[in-house]
Amino acid sequence: MFPGFKTFRLMGLWLSCLVFHSSVLATSEQEVIEFLNEAEVKIREMSEEGARLAWIAANFITYDTQFVQAKHDARTTLMAVQLAKQAAAYDDVKANADTRRKLDTLKQAIRLPAPDDAALAAELSTITTGMKARYGKGKYCPPNKGSDGCLDLVQMNNIIANSRDEQELRDVWQGWREVSPPMKANYARQVEITNQGANELGFTDLGSMWRSGYDMSPADFAADMDAQWNRVKPLYEALHCHVRAGLADHYGTDIVDPKGKIPAHLLGNMWAQQWSNIYDLVKPASSQEGPKVDITRLIEDRNMSELDMVHTAENFFVSLGLPKLPETFWERSLFLQPQDRDVVCHASAWNLDSKDDLRIKMCIQRNEEDFTTIHHELGHNYYQRAYNQQPVYFQGSANDGFHEALGDTISLSVTPNYLVKIGMLEKLPEASDEVAQLLKLALNKVAFLPFGLLVDKWRWQVFSGELTPQEYNQGWWALREQYQGIKAPVAREAHHFDPGAKYHIPGNTPYMRYFLAHIQQFQFHEALCKTVGYEGPLHECTIYGNKEAGERLDAMMKMGRSRPWQEAMEALTGQPALDAGAILAYFAPLKAWLDEQNQGRQCGW
């Protein structure tokens, strides 16, 4: 999960320090530097205030805490727009690379730029708040069950994950998508307003503005994403082919065409973005019980507490030569779900003062998923600590995929080899379990790739005007069919707004970061495994205990976003470009097995 709090989300709050400059355009680099230096002092102060408000609101959910945070967020949005415009006003001032990078960071800090018009800014705020509220309150009320039979999204997700009743799955899938059509007109209006705001900052549209934050031209960035996808597409197609065959065997060929697209409601996830919940339908015939390294059972057998799990994860980083977490981490983090109040249990990592007030917030369960998640979240914390000596403008990951990728890189080292080294597992499992382990991981990591790519591809088409509101849903399903090889289980019409059934659309969270992270994490993992001198199968490697790997990782993390991400990539991997080859190497044994299983099947769609 991306860190629970980001400094740049709050930058707009220091608008008061800009009053002196608001009517005088800087004419020299020195004036711009003074502007940035003054701003940084205020940014730090206001960022800490905002972080603490957010922490309180997440850990003490009441009307009042939500009210205070909402007010704070509204001010932040309005002021961040003004801040971005101030930075854009200095575009023609000659400045060194460091100063220019700080100004560009300010311009790119806001996701939804409002025009310089108070009425339009207020309208935009109303729209965004309203869409998120509609999504959050969304329910499906099955016919003839009354209001007491209504289902929220958590309940529907559980049905999608666990039910094998095709009609029930179809009903729930369709029911959830009745939440989003009322958002469509507001979303279209939001696009109009934010495109105008992006224009005022010098961008052709909002999509171009989002793509400009990657130290390359928007066109080159889009082309690179396509190139990475084309490299991993054969692996995805092999997985798709095997999964489709398993689903056809279970549900029948009248429901699943063994040569066509997979109905989206059968993949164990409301958005068909990860498929691990249907592992039981596609697992190797020789693996009747699934992967045999059962971390949940190991936790239970050793009577590990929730805090024991966190200490184990901390020891992973200490083994790399990194320092222990501060005592305040243990005093101030939320590890267990309180019995006396509501909290946001979704796991996240926090740095509340841009220094050493590091925390995680999660309601830890004593199971494999949370054991891995803790390692992931501490990866965020160690990254946050590493770059906290950078100017506030550069306190973030090299690009928005790096933070997620780094957390997942650490999770990839939670291997049977690692478990043996720390004494949780007595001996390595038999080699025959290799395919089962890789298949279950691929149903999450590989299955996600096309979805991670297409969400923002759809938005780019919307922002550019390539898709009109009348074409929103048609364009969405065209991309899902093209990239994922899935189809809607029931007819979808122009009045539907199925993109809005995914939170990141009404929530306006850019999504390409997740595609990036799913490529980068394997690239990071491969490079670090080479650093430790590992020569075996990549999926068996762990960097646990290697100080050289820790030094290389720490050097990259300390850069923050002070340099183009390509330089951070080179510092860690030895080469600057994004490279999907590592994910192919990681899953090579699975690809060979899938190709064997798929003999005689017609793959593709």
The separation between the first and the last C-alpha atoms of the chain, rounded to the nearest angstrom, is 32
Q: Which DSSP symbol is given to 559?
A: T
CA distances, 295 to each of 291, 350, 356 (Å): 10, 26, 31
CA distances, 425 to each of 135, 287, 293, 294, 429 (Å): 43, 20, 8, 10, 9
Q: Say what angle helices 368-386 and 547-558 make with each other, to 10 degrees.
A: 60
192 belongs to the catalytic site: no
Token couple for 462:
């919307």
Candidate list 383, 393, 483, 514, residue with the active-site label? 514
375 belongs to the catalytic site: no
Closest CA to 383 of 368, 372, 395: 395
Contact (CB, 8 A) for 521 and 412: yes
- How many CB atoms are located within 10 Å of the residue 48 CB? 19
* CA angle (435, 438, 441) in 5-degree steps: 150
Token couple for 64:
């009042």
* CA angle (311, 315, 319) in 5-degree steps: 175
Candidate list 51, 114, 279, 377, residue with the active-site label? 377
Closest CA to 206 of 219, 220, 187, 193: 193
240 belongs to the catalytic site: no
265 belongs to the catalytic site: no
Report the distance separating Cα 596 and Cα 23, nearest Å: 69
404 belongs to the catalytic site: yes
User: Rounded to 10 degrees, what is the CA torsion of 104, 110, 115, 117?
Assistant: -120
Candidate list 118, 192, 227, 346, residue with the active-site label? 346
> Which residue type occupies 20?
F
Contact (CB, 8 A) for 457 and 434: no
Which position has the token pair 């498929």?
Answer: 275
514 belongs to the catalytic site: yes
Residues 6+ apart with CB under 8 A from 221: 211, 214
* CA angle (46, 48, 53) in 5-degree steps: 95
45 belongs to the catalytic site: no
Report the distance separating Cα 406 and Cα 411, nearest Å: 9
- How many CB atoms are located within 10 Å of the residue 581 CB? 14
Candidate list 45, 504, 540, 548, residue with the active-site label? 504
Report the distance separating Cα 222 and Cα 389, nearest Å: 32
CA 249 to chain centre: 33
Contact (CB, 8 A) for 40 and 392: yes
CA 57 to chain centre: 22
Candidate list 238, 264, 375, 404, residue with the active-site label? 404
- How many CB atoms are located within 10 Å of the residue 543 CB? 26
Candidate list 39, 264, 313, 347, residue with the active-site label? 347
Candidate list 240, 376, 496, 518, residue with the active-site label? 376
Closest CA to 354 of 7, 1, 4: 7
262-263 vs 486-487, strand pairing mode = parallel
346 belongs to the catalytic site: yes
Residue positions annotated with a catalytic role: 346-347, 376-377, 380, 404, 504, 514
